[in-house]
Structure 1
Amino acid sequence: MEEDILDVLINLKDSKGAPLLTIEEIKALIVEIMIATVDNPSNAIEWALAEMINQPEILKRASEELDIVVGRDRLVQESDLTYLKYVKACAREAFRIHPIAPFNVPHVSMEDATVGGYFIPKGSHVLLSRPGLGRNPRIWEEPLKFKPERHLKDDGSDVVLTDSNLRMLSFSTGRRGCAGVLLGSTMTTMLLARLIHGFTWNAPPDVPNIDLTESEGDLLLAKPLLALAKPRLSEHVYQQLGN
Structure 2
Amino acid sequence: MTRPPLRIVLADDQAVVRTALRMVIERRADFHVVSEAADGAQAVAAAFEHRPDVVVMDVRMPGMTGVDATRAITRQWPHADPHPKVLILTTFDLDEYVHAALRAGAAGFLLKNSRPDQLAEAIRTVAEGESILSPSTTRRLIETFTRSAVAGPGATAGEADLVDRLTERERDVLILLAKGHTNPEIAAALGLTETSVRSRVNRILTRLRLDNRVQAALAAYRAGLIPGEDL
* TM bucket normalised to smaller: under 0.3
Question: Which protein shows a greater Rg?
Answer: 1
The structure, 1 or 2, with the larger RCO (C-alpha pairs under 8 Å, 6+ apart) is 1
Higher fraction of strand: 2
Higher fraction of helix: 2
TM-score norm. by structure 2 comes to 0.24
